[in-house]
Chain A
């Protein structure tokens, strides 16, 4: 057991730190948008430029192979990068679904042509990706999805609908799961497509969510033609490919999530220091201290649990139970954190952006509302518990 870094890793940390000191955008820090872990619509253009800057400096896609736009480094450098980003309260990555999911899956399953075509543009944010998994009748039970793709010459013709599709309104490509063999058992007749969102027949309709933002969408497919070269990982193999994507999502996004949590927690502590209640600063209130300390412990815990998983990855082993619990811990901690932010604000928590009385410009109201999605997106907490119960503990299926 050893948490010390090699001289090379220390040098990498210094390099990241210096770069961030010199390049952190003022407009971002001055707005203290840092508590937001999700790119918001009004920041899209800014975040596009920011990701491009990261790419040009070589600070994104660290673990991806060099020939596909990455740097061929290890998870350690990735971890260091994320820690430094957190300390600097750096903006989030806009093309998060591309970087966290599409890229790694294409690198794992893609043809050489696909690998040369897509990953680098994901990192540079030239092409934004969205994830076409969920449907109105296929959420937690994803394998029952009904969007169909029928072969027609060297093309597939797609009809159907996706829903809750984040970033679809600005996305260039979609990771699309569609049913290609309706007669096969439900997990075996699904294919993974790389879909150009500009294809004729693709319609994106924004959905206004609980926050009021149109962050996610419905996507309709009306005889959309996709060339067969856009299949990823083989016809009817989409379930396997899609699961890989989800695994990457949980592992890769895990680093970022822990870091964002820490940024939010630091923000919450700063806010609590400024609030007085019954004549004393809130951070001196014993109950508040208990709640903040527990959040601190849970946030640190997520880091160490992640470190245990990374250790196994670095040794070439498959992460054990500790990797599966990360998402649940994060969700629980983050939702509790957001609730506490409202508690700290008290009656002021009712006031939204637009009021001079709103605390910190009403940013916490957004993150609080947005956090309700955490236990639904990327696998509901209930599904996560089924997975842990069945795959980790070996309990029988219901």
Chain B
């Protein structure tokens, strides 16, 4: 047994930390928050150059062929830098769905371009009903003229406004169970009837959209994977993206803890550094426990999805349940221990606090995942 990172993985961490310290400064993040795109072409090209956009894709599709444990290290550093932009939506949602469900031709067409930073693909899955299960998929895809007509509304879609194409999750038939009859379609954003609206978000580093599908006509070749068989590959993608998100959350929480500890050492009140008071010290210790526990569960989940062990779904839900609570609590404690300055726009804490909130609800919050854990342990 070895539950640690390899030298190569530590090397990824060191490279990433340095890169983000230089390229993803607080100033950079704040500028991206003010703009609709949330990313610059230059920054995106640099991520591609580092090989990170294709890190987990097979080499035959222009990737580095690495696994989710490797990715965990990178995600932690991205979370640490509260990195804006469509990495998550393109690489881990849109791209991964193509990898998981697509034909060889579709993969050849899209994945090398994603890895090279030349294409962005969003996943249009969730709807106004805000459900994470298959029953939440109510958008329809009806056969017409040898192709399909897509109708419905997708909500909370990350980065649809800057995507070249959308992977649309739609219902092609009413199966006996909601998991049956779900299909995936690869749809160019410029298709007639696709209406994308950028929504104002609390976490401005994450750009969420509403996607209206107004009788969007797509050819049969737009189908990604088997007709009616879209749910299983989607579930596999979501499971892995959830683990990657947990890693990002761990990185963010660790950064909040680091900032708070540094501040508690230098901020003096009543003649002593505030970190010498137990009221502050003990809360910092609680933060450490939250961060370390979230990491333990996340690292295990990353290993589990890499190895495709049967327990991976349980591992992912355990990690997300824990990380959702932990990041929220740690970010709130960070603000509290900083006092007034932590409540300002000027200080970076609010970026993490808001990222914690958006991450908490992505792919299901702690309550949702605890219920999943209950199901998976046959309670």
Contact = CB atoms under 8 A, between A and B. Distances in A.
B116 to A, nearest CB: 29
A375 to B, nearest CB: 13
A294 interface: yes
A213 B374 CA distance: 36
Contact of A395 (B284, B307, B377): B284
Contacts of B22: none
A382 B277 CA distance: 12
Contact of B265 (A304, A308, A394, A398): A394
A4 B295 CA distance: 20
Interface stretch (A60-68, A170-178, A222-230, A322-330): A322-330
A389 interface: yes
Given A2-B1, A5-B1, A293-B377, A397 B370 contact: no
Nearest to B9: A1
Interface string A1-40: 1111100000000000000000000000000000000000
Interface in A383-398: 384-386, 388-390, 392-398
B371 A310 contact: no
Interface in A336-373: none
B275 interface: yes
A398 B277 contact: yes
A301 B69 CA distance: 17
A392 B261 CA distance: 11
Instruction: Give the interface SS of chain A, mostly helix, strand, loop or mixed.
Output: helix
Nearest to A282: B379
User: What size tier do the contact residues of chain B reach?
Assistant: 35 or more
A392 B288 contact: yes
Given A286-B371, A293-B370, A385-B282, A310 B3 contact: yes
A389 B264 CA distance: 11
B268 to A, nearest CB: 10
B377 to A, nearest CB: 6
B299 A296 contact: no
Interface string A295-322: 0111011001101101110110000011
B177 interface: no
Contacts of B3: 1, 3, 304, 307-308, 310-311
Contacts of B292: 305, 321-322, 325
A388 B69 contact: no
Interface in B312-370: 318, 321-322, 367, 370
A294 B288 contact: no
A1 B284 contact: no
Interface string A214-227: 00000000000000
Instruction: Give the interface SS of chain B, mostly helix, strand, loop or mixed.
Output: helix
A106 B272 CA distance: 41
Interface string A52-72: 000000000000000000000
B4 interface: yes
Interface string B280-309: 111011101100110111011011001100
A166 interface: no
A76 interface: yes
A335 interface: no
Kindly name the residue among A5, A385, A388, A389 whose own CB sees the greatest number of chain B CB atoms within 10 A.
A389
Contacts of A2: 1-2, 303
A160 B153 CA distance: 78
Contact of B1 (A3, A286, A321, A398): A3
Interface in B225-278: 257, 261, 264-265, 272-273, 275-278
A382 B279 CA distance: 11
Nearest to A398: B276
Nearest to A290: B370
Given A307-B3, A385-B286, A395 B265 contact: yes
A325 B277 contact: no
A388 B379 contact: no
A395 B299 contact: no
A353 to B, nearest CB: 28
Closest 9 CB pairs of A and B: A389-B281, A395-B275, A304-B296, A293-B370, A385-B285, A388-B285, A289-B374, A293-B373, A307-B3
Given A297-B322, A382-B282, A386-B278, 12 more contacts: A1-B299, A3-B1, A3-B300, A293-B370, A297-B370, A297-B373, A308-B3, A385-B282, A393-B261, A396-B273, A396-B275, A396-B276
Interface of A: 1-5, 76, 79, 269, 283, 286, 289-290, 292-294, 296-298, 300-301, 304-305, 307-308, 310-312, 314-315, 321-322, 325, 328-329, 382, 384-386, 388-390, 392-398
